[in-house]
């Protein structure tokens, strides 16, 4: 059995969350998975702020004008940021942050929890960019850029797992296009 496919087909974006509390230990295990993600040149430029405080989660949501409030019901929000000060690291910052976030989404599914990527790059907040406002809220030092959030919580909506029939198999070309 392709165990990884079993996991990836069940992972869906979950945007409604129940009230169950996720143990810190589970979040810790999920973050361990994120830290195994490959990064360009192995520089490991991706950093995270794990936010559990509900008031802070609401404030972070308010940093995204359109759709930020969708994180309000989450039990944890992972703020994914990448070191972009250094020109060399900056070249691959989106790729580095994205692959780590994908690892988080899969790890969350492994624990039977729900998660959703909430986009931050190039999004606007109340006064400035969402990135600037979130970094200011969380005291992030200069030199980092927030790529996205991953909202995590108990699943409060059922989403059908993907099946072979859903796959865009035509997107895969062999030997030549
Ligand atoms: C780069 C990227 C940005 C996304 N931004 C958001 C977002 O801001 N808000 C949201 O609810 N979902 C967001 N999503 C989730 C997608 O909407 C979702 O993955 C897509 O609709 C497919 O559904 P699935 O995740 O259930 O397979 C984003 C996903 C990606 C990969």
DSSP assignment of 31-90: HHHHTTS--GGG---EEEEEE--HHHHHHHHHTSTTTGGGGTT-SEEEEEEEE-SSHHHH
What atom of ligand 1 comes closest to residue 119's alpha carbon?
Answer: 8
Q: Which of 110, 101, 157, 155 is nearest to 7 (CA)?
A: 110
Q: Which of 153, 135, 137 is nearest to 47 (CA)?
A: 135
pLDDT of residue 86: 83
**Residue 89 predicted with pLDDT over 80:** no
* Average pLDDT for 65-92: 94
Q: Where residue 10 falls among pLDDT bands split at 50, 70, 90?
A: very high
How far is the centre of ligand 1, averaged over its atoms, from the C-alpha of 15 (Å)? 10
pLDDT of residue 6: 98
* Average pLDDT for 80-98: 93
Residues flanking ligand 1, CB < 6 Å: 12-13, 15, 67, 70, 116-119, 159
* Average pLDDT for 64-92: 94
Rounded Cα distance between 144 and 86, Å, is 10
How far is the centre of ligand 1, averaged over its atoms, from the C-alpha of 175 (Å)? 30
The residues with which 81 forms a beta bridge, in sequence order, are: 47, 146
- Can you give the residue ranges of every domain in the chain? 8-156
CA distances from 62 to 65, 121, 135 (A): 6, 15, 13
* Average pLDDT for 3-25: 98
Average pLDDT of the chain? 97
Rounded Cα distance between 83 and 50, Å, is 17
Q: Whose CA is nearest to atom 28 of ligand 1?
A: 117
Q: Whose CA is nearest to atom 10 of ligand 1?
A: 118
Tokens matching residue 69:
């409030």
Rounded Cα distance between 116 and 94, Å, is 17
pLDDT of residue 67: 97
* Average pLDDT for 149-155: 98
pLDDT of residue 16: 98
Q: Round the CA-based radius of gyration of the chain to a whole number and report it.
A: 17
Q: Where residue 88 falls among pLDDT bands split at 50, 70, 90?
A: confident
Asked if residue 115 lies in contact with residue 108, where contact means CB atoms within 8 angstroms, the answer is: yes
Probe target for ligand 1 pocket from 9, 13, 106, with the most ligand atoms within 8 Å of CB: 13
**Residue 87 predicted with pLDDT over 90:** no
pLDDT of residue 35: 98
* Sole residue written with tokens 């702020």: 49
Query: For a pLDDT cut of 90, what percent of the chain falls above it?
Result: 97
Q: What stretches of 88-176 adopt beta strand conformation (E)?
A: 114-119, 144-153
* Average pLDDT for 112-139: 98
8-156: CATH superfamily: NADH Oxidase (3.40.109.10)
């Amino acid at each position: 059995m392709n165990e990884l496919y079993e996991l990836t087909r069940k992972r869906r974006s979950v945007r409604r969350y129940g009230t169950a509390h996720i143990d810190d230990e589970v979040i810790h295990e999920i973050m361990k998975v994120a830290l195994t993600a490959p990064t360009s040149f192995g520089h490991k430029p991706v950093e995270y702020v794990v936010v559990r405080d509900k008031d802070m989660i609401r404030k972070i949501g308010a940093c995204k004008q359109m759709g930020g409030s969708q994180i309000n019901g989450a039990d944890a929000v992972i703020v994914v940021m990448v070191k972009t000060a250094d020109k060399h690291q900056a070249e691959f910052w989106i790729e580095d942050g994205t692959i780590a976030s994908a690892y988080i989404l899969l790890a969350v599914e492994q624990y039977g929890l729900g998660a959703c990527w909430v986009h931050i790059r190039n999004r606007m907040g109340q006064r400035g960019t969402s990135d600037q406002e979130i970094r200011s809220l969380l005291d992030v030092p200069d030199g980092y850029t927030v790529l996205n959030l991953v909202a995590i919580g108990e699943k409060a909506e059922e989403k059908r797992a993907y099946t072979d029939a859903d796959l865009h198999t035509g997107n895969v070309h062999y030997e030549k296009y």
